[in-house]
Amino acid sequence: MHVIRSFAVTVFALLGACGQAGTGGESNADPAPAAQGPHAHAVTKQFSIDMGKLVVEEKTYVDGLAMRLADGAAAVLTEAPITACAKLAVVAQSRTELKTTALGEKPVLALVRNAEHPQGAILLLEPYSTTTLEDALPTLATEGNTLAASGDIGDAGWGSIDATQYGAEKAPHVRLDVKLPYAKPGDADALAADTGAEAKWLREMRAKAATDTQAVVDASVQVDPEDYSGSVTTNAWFDVLSNWGNLSVVAAASDKGCSTLVVREPGFIGGYREAIIQTTMVGDVRKVTSVQTESMDSIEGDYAFGRVEHPTLGGFPILHGRAAREEGVGLVVYLSDQPIAAGSFETLVARQHMLRAVASSEYGNQYSFSFYELGGPGVPVEQVGAGNSTTNPYLDEKEVGGLIKLGEGEPTRITVNFRLALAAAGT
């Protein structure tokens, strides 16, 4: 038996201690006593000389978020608390590299270890520039489930300004007390996200857009149409409303006056398409402020992404899969919105939504499904002919993959992209 887990995103509410911030003269930048749970606190200080006087530029960061990157790990720290909406957007957008546009225009402090900074580094991220404050961060620990860094790093005078000559004390360039769990895939309740208020709103918007997509887009976006990012958002929002007919919401976060949705639908040749939709409330109306889309056609490992719409079962996402050769049956693929445990199909449908795809023939490295069985708690199993619904089928002794696309425009619709390890008969 082979089981895969859903890929979704969640964020953690991170604790931060408050500090003093200001410019000019000497200030007390000692961080609060180290907290035991998750926390993010940092103070940066830089000396300069103006008209023979010491000037101290100091910033205090009180909240943060840690995440794994494709080639390492990073934490971003901010001067004000980060909303749950922004946290989800940053994590979802930073799959391959760190992206912090969702945090706004204020400077962001980043603690990074990746291929470019193998010794760790402290970066100051601003909308149009990145400054390396320290090119080594020996106290940065990125192993396990937590990112941590503490202690004093560097010299606020850059080695050239002695604060004691101006009646002040020497100070570190950066003082850190950070311990944050990684916000990582697989922690969110994707099923809850797909049935939540944000998902309901999105489907209502798609229904309204069926008659005049452009009018709905124009009325629902809040962007600068002359700005490049505003144009990208408008075009992406139009695409989602008009063309994403089999979407599921795999993660959602709401805070005061904002929400973020991570939306997926099966790709055309494999994998999935993803949209990260950010909204804000203007009065009592939800407005779209950012939409970013990406196609993930090449995915390592097993996956199952899709959606089923059924007159009795309702609509549900496909998030988990299992494939096997069963004695007397042959190739069978099980798909569900919940993890698939061992047991017969009859046992499984008694406790969760299930789709069972049964192959009728195999030829070389290809196959075709004969029929599908759908069922769930309290709903009798229904068998549906597969017809020509199998696209891009692939089969070998280790795995099976393909795209199921059945019933476009019909009451029962199935759209699933999958690649699953193939278990032997009886396992």
User: How do the residues of the chain divide into helix, strand and coil, expressed in percent and rounded to 5?
Assistant: 15, 45, 40
Gap between the Cα atoms of 360 and 307, Å rounded: 23
**Per-residue pLDDT for 8 more than 60?**
no
**127-130 LR contacts (CB < 8 Å, sep 24+):** 127/101
Q: What is the DSSP letter of 300?
A: S
| pLDDT 10s digits, 320-362 | 999 999 988 999 999 999 999 988 999 999 999 999 999 988 9
Gap between the Cα atoms of 72 and 118, Å rounded: 9
| pLDDT 10s digits, 56-68 | 999 999 999 999 9
pLDDT of residue 184: 75
Percent of the chain with pLDDT over 90: 78
- All structural domains of the chain, each given as residue ranges with its CATH number in brackets, are 38-181 (no CATH), 190-296 (3.10.450.50), 303-423 (no CATH)
| pLDDT 10s digits, 195-235 | 999 999 999 999 999 999 999 999 999 999 889 999 999 99
Query: Alpha-carbon dihedral of residues 45, 46, 49, 54, nearest 10 degrees?
Result: 10
Gap between the Cα atoms of 422 and 427, Å rounded: 10
**Per-residue pLDDT for 6 more than 50?**
no
Please give the C-alpha separations between residue 122 and each of 96, 99, 143, 327, 376, in angstroms, as whole numbers. 19, 15, 18, 58, 51
For the residues of 158-184, what is the DSSP string, one character each? TTT--GGGGT-----SEEEEEEEEBP-
For residue 291, give the nearest of 258, 263, 249 by alpha carbon. Answer: 263
- When mean pLDDT is compared across 78-92, 180-194, 368-382, the lowest value belongs to 180-194
Average pLDDT estimate for 249-273: 93
pLDDT of residue 35: 57
